Amino acid sequence: MIDKFSPIEIGIYMAIKEKNPAGYSVPVSLPNDQGVFMVKAIEHESKIKTKIENGKPKAVFEVNVEAMIEEEIESNQLDLSSIREIEKQASKKVNQMADKFLKQLQNDKSVVFGLGAKIRAKYPSYWDNTVKTDENWAEIYKDMDIQIDYNVSIRRTGMEWKLL
């Protein structure tokens, strides 16, 4: 790897690789609300799916994150609907950051997730006929279609709820 990574990018890497505890926080704002919520990942589970589509490898990272709201700043509107919206906004934000991080890894040809080994094991004829070498894999990986789907679920809030 050429670049240095931020703590949140290291958290994204750890989540994809299922390294627990999670330990990173993301600030989330709700539409029409002036508050900010700090959402901290507690635990994560991921699945990496690979396939060959139209003669090219493709990967999908599915990451489920259990999180907690560790801090609420300038808002006193924490109820169930707010929590669901925080989950939605946190998932969206982390997906955007993770997508950017994955593109950076691909541009740097940093093959840190073992996708080549997965492709070689699952599709040996593709590897033998198309990839052939680790150097060729680095070039294929650089342009590979990799998608990420983060799903954040709030397990606990760490604070009082507003009863409606």
Whether the pLDDT of residue 32 is over 90: the answer is no
Which of 14-23, 57-66, 122-131 shows the lowest mean pLDDT across its residues? 14-23
Instruction: Give the pTM.
Output: 0.83
pLDDT of residue 12: 85
Kindly give, in sequence order, each residue whose CB lies less than 8 Å from that of residue 128, ignoring residues fewer than 6 positions away: none
Question: Got the DSSP string for 22-57?
Answer: ---EEEEE-TT---EEEEEEEEEEEEEEEEEETTEE
Q: Quick check: 13 and 5 in contact, CB under 8 A? A: yes
Q: What is the pLDDT of residues 91-139, one digit of tens each?
A: 999 999 999 999 999 998 888 889 999 999 999 999 999 999 989 999 9
Distance between CA atoms of residues 47 and 54, nearest Å: 22
pLDDT of residue 126: 95
Domains in the chain with CATH codes: 7-156 (3.30.300.210)
